[in-house]
Structure 1
Amino acid sequence: MNYLEGKIDFHGQIRCSKYMNYGILTSGVAAYIAGWLAHDSFLSIKVFLILSIIAGIICIPAWPMYNRKPLQFQKTKN
């Protein structure tokens, strides 16, 4: 399977959207806490970018877990 072709089903789209939303939210909270504890804004930016890239790696390719229930089309009638 080509992971960059982008074919995922509707349930996979919902799952991917949830993962991305939770990943970005977690990245922001973790980056804020890390930056606040270290009193370092640059650390906050680094933590956010690293965790956002990890969330992107989880969500952007068309992994097989996002295509478990492919849509079945009806056959055409002649």
Structure 2
Amino acid sequence: MGLVEWYNGLHMDYDGQARAEKLSRIIILLFGAVGFIWGYIIQQFSETVRILGAGFVLAAILTIPPWPMYMKKALAWQKVRPNTGEGDVSERRRMRTYNFPV
């Protein structure tokens, strides 16, 4: 099993997506606040931007890949129901006639 097949088998669940978004917002907010305070103290806006950029990179590394910590509450999908032979739902919808007011 190659690295590509292993990576394609990983997916975040819905709860993991919410946790990743919350974590990225917290990281960027904290780094932004620290960067603003530090930049104000030394009077260098470029330091504020650097610290905020470092926070963005850290948040991206921690939240973009589907790490196993984001796959703890997977949904249990229902099994596919067998075809009853009455026809496809889309076929029944196509065969319906609608009486729209003119």
Give TM-score, length-normalised by structure 2: 0.69
Residues 28-57 of structure 1, C-alpha deviations (whole Å, 9 max, x = no match): 101101101111111111111011111111
Runs of 5+ consecutive residues of structure 1 not aligned to the other structure:
none
Partner SS state of residue 70, structure 1: coil
Distance 1:6 1:30, change over 3 A: farther
- RMSD of equivalent CA atoms: 1.6
User: Looking at both structures, which has the greater relative contact order when contacts are Cα pairs under 8 Å and sequence separation is at least 6?
Assistant: 1
1:44 correspondence with 2:44 = no
User: Partners in 2 of 1:36 and 1:28 — Cα distance?
Assistant: 12
Give TM-score, length-normalised by structure 1: 0.88
1:1-78 matched pairs, under 5 angstroms:
1-2=6-7, 7-78=11-82
Task: Specify the structure having the higher radius of gyration (Cα).
Answer: 2
Aligned-pair identity in percent equals 29
Residues 4-43 of structure 1, C-alpha deviations (whole Å, 9 max, x = no match): 7761111101111110111111121011011011111111
The answer on whether the counterparts of 1:7 and 1:62 sit within 8 Å (CA) in structure 2 is: yes
Q: How many pairs align?
A: 77
Where has structure 1 moved over 3 Å in runs of 4 or more?
none
User: Partners in 1 of 2:49 and 2:25 — Cα distance?
Assistant: 18
Runs of 5+ consecutive residues of structure 2 not aligned to the other structure:
1-5, 83-102
Distance 1:59 1:5, change over 3 A: farther
